[in-house]
Amino acid sequence: MTAERFDAIESVRTAFDDHLARADETAAVALVLDLLARGVSAEDVLLDLIAPAQAAVGERWVTNEWSVAQEHAATHVSNRAVSALAAATVAPDHPLGSVVVACPDGEWHTLPAHIVAEVLRLRGFAVRFLGAGVPTAHLISYLHQNGSDLIALSCMLAVRLPRMYRTIEACRLARVPVLVGGAGFGPDGVWARALGADLYARTAVDAAELLVEQWPPPLTGAPALDHLADGEYAQLVSRRGDLLRHLVDHLRRCFPPMRRCADDRYEAAVEDLGFLVDFLAAGVFVDDPRVFTDFLVFLADVLAPRGIPPAGLDLVVRALCEPLSDLPRTLTHLAAGRGRLARAGHTWTDA
């Protein structure tokens, strides 16, 4: 990046953060368009201004500095800024190929995918961004209608991997190559290969460079999920309701913050517990305990600033061992979870 461009972006960084904090859509859009008018490239605005600002937004939510509503409002404004940039830049006359970018069913974090879509467009591809929570049937019908050369799917949370797999399978059946990206695929995209994706890219720029280099994209992905034959994943999914009831009963007896929480908080807590069971199942799905352990660490970081002792997670994981004692592979994930919590100093001791 040249010093000039760097200065242009640096000079507005605080103002942009401020617009996000106040959810001021109009000001945020005006700011990015002004940068564009001053000669800063759209890609630099996307990657050096909007993306880092949004990362900070997520951080503020984790530390409880911002409410969910504030986080959501800020994300909405960032999305609008990306759309405004897209509208202000010209699509290529002779595109390198046609790409569909989507967040499949259950994935609601649109911004990273939106940025990838715009970077690919700026790098010469004809791109259609389908947005958040696109049902697989709708996605496949789009592919048949438009004959796209590649589908790019984003997954920000590993808990979505099983549903992501079904989407990837559907694309493979339609013989459309799949590029995936997002934190949900794990460190260096290890779980992307397990799910049978043809290509994985860590960043938007990586994605663009990979596609330019490997165009037409290969159709070589093959899922590696033979371990599912043990049926443990299916068991976890079908027992979800029972497990949740068991956890709630257990926590009501043994975990003081759960006993005294109000109705609304209580429902949110049940939702979080459901999430935890889903992450466990997703880890068993891709056969990697890191899905579960990483989530526990993240959840501990979220709970602590909200006045809930993270050691409660250890209590939860321990409580899962008994009803799941007939699932040996799942037990190793639970054990790994407890080990990880212990290393972080979150061990539960019975009063």
Task: Kindly state whether residue 176 participates in binding another protein, applying the rule CB under 8 A.
Answer: yes
- Give the pair of three-digit tokens for residue 56: 């900070």
Binding span for another protein by CB under 8 A among 86-94, 173-181, 206-214, 289-297: 173-181
- Closest to another protein by CB, 189 vs 217, is 217
Report d(CA 23, CA 72) in Å as an integer: 9
Q: Is 56 in the site for another protein (CB under 8 A)?
A: no
- Of 205 and 244, nearer to another protein (C-beta) is 244
E strands, the chain, are 98-102, 126-129, 150-154, 178-181, 199-200
144 binds another protein (CB under 8 A): yes
Residue 231 touching another protein (CB under 8 A): no
Number of residues engaging another protein in binding (CB under 8 A)? 44
**Residues 6+ positions from 98 with CB-CB distance below 8 Å:** 125, 126, 127, 128, 146, 147, 148, 149, 150
Is 17 an interacting residue with respect to another protein (CB under 8 A)? no
Q: Which residues pair with 311 in a beta bridge?
A: none
Q: How far apart are CA 344 and CA 351, in angstroms?
A: 20
- 58 touches another protein by CB under 8 A: no
**Rule CB under 8 A: is residue 14 a binding residue for another protein?**
no
Contacts of 152 (CB under 8 A, 6+ apart): 99, 100, 101, 102, 113, 116, 117, 120, 178, 179, 180, 181, 207
Query: Which residues 6+ apart lie within 8 Å of 177 measured at CB?
Result: 149, 150, 151, 171, 198, 199, 216, 217, 218, 219, 221
Residue 73 binding another protein, by CB under 8 A:
yes
Q: Applying CB under 8 A, which of residues 3, 14, 147, 345 lies at the interface with another protein?
A: 147
Rule CB under 8 A: is residue 22 a binding residue for another protein? yes
Q: Is 262 helix (H, G, I), strand (E, B) or coil?
A: coil
Stretch that binds another protein, among 6-14, 174-182, 196-204, 250-258 (CB under 8 A): 174-182
Q: Provide, rounded to whole angstroms, the least separation between the CB of residue 259 and another protein.
A: 18
Tell the smallest beta-carbon distance from residue 279 to another protein (Å): 14
Query: In the complex, which residues of this chain contact another protein (CB under 8 A)?
Result: 21-25, 66-70, 72-73, 75-77, 80, 105-106, 108, 132-133, 135, 137-138, 140-141, 143-147, 163, 173-176, 241, 244, 264, 267-268, 270-271, 274
